[in-house]
Structure 1
Amino acid sequence: MNSIHIKGRLTRDPETRHTDSGKSVTNFSVAVNRRFNRDKADFFNVTAWEKTGEFVEKYFRKGSEIIVEGEMQSREYTDRDGNKRIAWELITSNVEFCGSKSDSAENAGRSYQPATGPVPDINPSPGDFEEIPTDDDLPF
């Protein structure tokens, strides 16, 4: 099974092009923080076709938080120097908003007055989890 779900932020504005047959294809990149080491991130090149890509182009910009669902695909190509290379990209079948309404409204060119107050941290750090019990800790 080849199913990928990522949550991260766009590292650049989406770019939409059209194939010779007229289909639209949108490319963008998403940075995903590592679960237990927030100082490091992994970067995913994402390709969205037609309606999904048009949606991304319209509502997302560099820095927007996004959830992407799809599958990883590799493709071979030859670079300018004649070397064979392999590129990996996430071909998305679905994207979702993730983040505040103000981010989405700003990216769509609309104004929005965000609510005031603290925002809870919903991303736990490794120290937030209880220690897993060993056999010595079990009462039976």
Structure 2
Amino acid sequence: MNNIVIEGRLAQDPETKQTQNGKMMTTFNIACDRQYDKEHVDFFHCLSFGQVADYMAKYGTTGMSIIAVGSAQIVNYQDKNGQRQTGINVMVNSVKFLSRNPKMENPQNQNGQQQPAGGRTQASGGYGNGQRQQTTGGGYSQNNNGYAPRGGGYGHQQNGYGNNGYGQPAAPDFMSVPDGMDDEIPFN
């Protein structure tokens, strides 16, 4: 199985291009700090199509923290000097922004109305779980307050990555232990 999960920062604003087939594609680079070597940074060149590409082009901006999930592809190309090089492209099929987009200072909610003062954002869902709006106790509608739409953006449903359970129904209560049961573990 070829899965890759990258957590880092957008190294520059995403660029949207048209492929030779006429499909829209968004490219971006993710900068990742190394765990044990703080002096070096790794850059991953990423490609996205469809809804993920639209989402990245609309909401992504330099410096935003992001998690991208996709698959790695080995590519061969010629550099500026005509030398044959080998690299890796990440074909991203889902993303989640972890930080605020600074370009969206006074966002509007889904109804086109500005958010009341004092509203705040609550994250919901994981990768591709869909956009949700939640309400505070005071009845204020909570919009994205400068964050990309909640639910991690677009992509196929993942049952593991980032599924933090917000907006999910409460789990059923555990079965109670009947009276008279021994509290000891039945094995040694």
TM-score by length of 2: 0.52
Segment drifting more, 42-51 vs 76-85: 76-85
1:48-71 deviation line (CA, Å, top 9, x unaligned): 112111101111100011000011
The residue identity in structure 1 corresponding to 2:29 is: S
1:54-111 deviation line (CA, Å, top 9, x unaligned): 1011111000110000111111123454432212111111111112xxx13x34x342
| Structure with more of its chain in strand, by fraction | 1
The residue identity in structure 2 corresponding to 1:25 is: M
Percentage of matched positions with identical amino acids: 30
Matching of residue 46 in structure 1 with residue 41 in structure 2? no
1:20-46 deviation line (CA, Å, top 9, x unaligned): 332111111111111233333211111
Point out where structure 1 has 5 or more consecutive residues left out of the alignment: 116-140
User: How many corresponding residue pairs?
Assistant: 110
Matching of residue 60 in structure 1 with residue 55 in structure 2? no
Matching residue of 1:6:
6
Report the structure number with the largest CA radius of gyration. 2
Matching residue of 2:24:
24
Provide closer, same or farther for how the CA distance between residues 38 and 78 of structure 1 changes in structure 2, counting only shifts above 3 A. Answer: closer
Point out where structure 2 has 5 or more consecutive residues left out of the alignment: 108-117, 121-188
Runs of 4+ in 1 over 4 A off after TM superposition: 112-115
| Structure with more of its chain in helix, by fraction | 1
- Which one scores higher on RCO, CA 8 angstroms, separation ≥ 6? 1
**Mapping of residues 1-140 of structure 1, within 5 Å:** 1-99=1-99, 103-104=100-101, 106-107=102-103, 109-111=104-106
SS in 2 for 1:53: helix
